[in-house]
Chain A
Amino acid sequence: MSALLPYPLLTASLLVMWILLNGLSIGQVILGGVIALAASLAMAALQPAKPKIRRWDMIPQLVLTVLADILRSNIAVAGIILQGGQHTRTSGFVMIPLELRDRTGLAVLACIITSTPGTAWVEYHAGSGRLRIHVLDLIDQQAWIDLIKQRYERRLMEIFE
């Protein structure tokens, strides 16, 4: 966009945040707008890579899927903790070859994997695109690879690439 609005998404998010914190009134909208604009111009001086979102329509679906998955794994992990030591369970590392290269997409994937109890992002090798995660209740490695790739990576690639 123009020089005045280098990061329209950031400006809009800052304005929404200001209104959420201070209440909706004309004065707050104007003040929040000025601050959001100034902050995003300051951000422009840092010249961060600008994420391109190609498919806005797929975001709500992804958010709902992730929220449901997080709730399900919350229950699963709570169950594991409640069972205590009587239940034999193996945890382990899984290596996932990723095709997703977009930085914002990877950041969102990191948030998803970290926010889901039972899986944790451990390391990512940018050269080969290999991600290593740690899974608390590991039964089938391939199932986890398919899950991450089919459920999240494919959608993130459609949204960001």
Chain B
Amino acid sequence: MTPLADLPVWAALLTGFFLILGSALTLLGSVGLLRFRSFYERIHAPTLGTTWGTGGVLIASIIFHSVLQSKPVLHEILIALFVTVTTPVSLMLLARAALYRDRSEGNDGVPPFEVAAESQDKQRRSSGA
């Protein structure tokens, strides 16, 4: 007998739903990574996997283990927390590196760094006048 036989139907349905939701979103994120054309578009796709993709699988895991062990199993929350906190670090590194390279190579479609200073000057001039 597998432990699955002890699982009530409602819990099995909920677990299945969240598991499929999470894995479907992660799969879609990976498809997006493949399909999008530019680097800056591509960095959006994997966030599907790191947010509700991970979230769905974790919720399924919480329901499954909590029902089987008849006590709340919540350490999955820690995974969600650490994924959320660490994703921006790698994403910012990648995005800034790409921006730096595109600017040094003079590629199209990338805003220049000086825009910040320029528009500030403009603002200062208009407020002074």
Contact partner of B85 (CB less than 8 A), chosen from A74, A111, A122, A125, is A111
Measured CB to CB, the nearest residue on chain B to A136 is B44
Q: Which residue of A lies closest to B75 (CB)?
A: A20
- In the complex, how many angstroms separate the beta carbon of A38 from the nearest chain B beta carbon? 20
* A138–B129 CA distance with the chains assembled, in angstroms: 33
**Contact status B38-A74, CB under 8 Å:** no
Question: A70 to B51, alpha carbons, bound, how many Å?
Answer: 7
Per-residue contact bits, chain B 47-78, to A (CB 8 Å; 1 contact, 0 not): 11011100000000000000000000011011
Contact B116 A70 (CB under 8 A): no
Choice from A82, A84, A93, A115 contacting B47 with Cβ under 8 Å: A115
A interface residues, tally (CB under 8 Å): 36
- For A121, the chain B residues whose CB sits under 8 A away are 88, 91-92, 95
Say whether B13 faces chain A, with CB atoms less than 8 Å apart.
Answer: no
Q: Majority SS of interface residues in chain B?
A: helix
Cα A58 to Cα B117 with chains together (Å): 34
Chain A 66-110 against B: per-residue CB contact (8 Å), 1 yes, 0 no?
A: 000011001001101110110000010101000000000000001
Report whether A114 and B91 are in contact in the complex, using a CB–CB cutoff of 8 Å: yes
| Interfacial chain A residues near B43, Cβ < 8 Å | 120, 134
B-side contacts of A77, CB under 8 Å:
32, 44-45, 47-48
Q: With A and B bound together, what is the CA distance between A95 and B99 in angstroms?
A: 14
Instruction: Please name the residue on chain A nearest to B38 by beta carbon.
Output: A91
Q: Which of these, B47, B52, B96, B99, contacts A114 with CB under 8 Å?
A: B47
* Residues on the A chain within 8 Å of B116, using CB: 95, 125, 127-128, 130
Residue of A with least CB distance to B43: A120
- How long is the Cα–Cα vector from A134 to B109 in the complex, in angstroms? 12
A120 near B95 (CB under 8 angstroms)?
yes
Q: How far is the CB of A66 from chain B (nearest CB, A)?
A: 10
Beta-carbon contacts under 8 Å, B1-58 to A: 25, 28-29, 31-32, 35, 38, 40-41, 43-45, 47-48, 50-52
Closest residue of A by beta carbon distance from B40: A134
Q: Interface of A with B (CB < 8 Å)? A: 17, 20-21, 70-71, 74, 77-78, 80-82, 84-85, 91, 93, 95, 110-111, 113-123, 125, 127-128, 130, 132, 134, 136
Apart from A81-B32, A91-B38, 15 more pairs, CB < 8 Å:
A17-B78, A21-B78, A74-B25, A77-B32, A91-B40, A91-B41, A95-B119, A115-B84, A117-B29, A119-B44, A120-B47, A121-B88, A127-B116, A128-B117, A134-B40
